[in-house]
Amino acid sequence: MRPNKLRQMHRDGRPIVNAWLSIPSAYASEVACHTGVDAATVDCQHGMVGFSDAIAMFQAIGTTDAVPMVRPSANDPAQIMRFLDAGAYGVICPMISTAGQAAQLVAACRYPPVGTRSFGPARGALYGGPDYFERANEEILVLAMIETREALANLDAILATPGLDGVYVGPNDLAIELGHSPKSEHDHPDVTGAVERIRAAVVSRGLLAGIFCSSGEAAQMRLRQGFHLVTPGNDAAVFRSAYAEHVRHAREPV
């Protein structure tokens, strides 16, 4: 089976840069993944992406060295299994707030006897290789998003879930849950303190700590803090920001 290089990068202590794909376009995904990113996550929660779009995007990602991952819309085993069958090599699952929810997530990503994933990898085996079934449990990456007050209260129990590879912090929802603006992730001590508490707890267990970032500069700062995987903004925001800058220059007085 094709190895999941993100696991080796984490073991080696190398930073992982992840693209966030919300535009339902194989071409846009391919372009994003030719920038040198290590992974690319297809956002099926807040992105405008349907299942057929996701398949085409996984295929585009597969033309590059980036590892294809997915954020499903919910902790729904049937949906998660379908994305894995379509070729996702990692799952970043939103709104994991209890150990029971984390265990359900892990089970959906692992074949028996350690999980409950149904067999039928379809495109997953085409991408992964002929021994997909034998090795999928050890290659597929499973990350739980921590973004609620309840998750903070249950953090230790969530991190103790067998088979969970790490967490991915959703700083915007976390800030809202703590009673602050989604833009306050770097400014309010409640939010910065919660993010650091999560990071420290994850790292102390040897798990992978990931986080969504608003920019490349913010991503670099998070890596300095000790996060392992960073996402320097999503494709739509980067596109809009870059295009707006070009328009601004075009409208400067001649």
Give catalytic status of residue 46 as yes or no: yes
Give percent helix, percent strand, percent coil of the chain, each to the nearest 5.
Answer: 45, 15, 35
Which one from 10, 34, 46, 228 is the annotated catalytic residue? 46
Contact (Cβ atoms closer than 8 angstroms) between residue 211 and residue 169: yes
Helical ranges in 22-170 per DSSP H? 26-33, 51-61, 77-85, 99-109, 123-128, 132-139, 149-153, 155-159
Quote the CA–CA distance of 70 and 57 in Å, as a whole number. 10
Q: What is the DSSP letter of 28?
A: H
Catalytic residue numbers read: 46
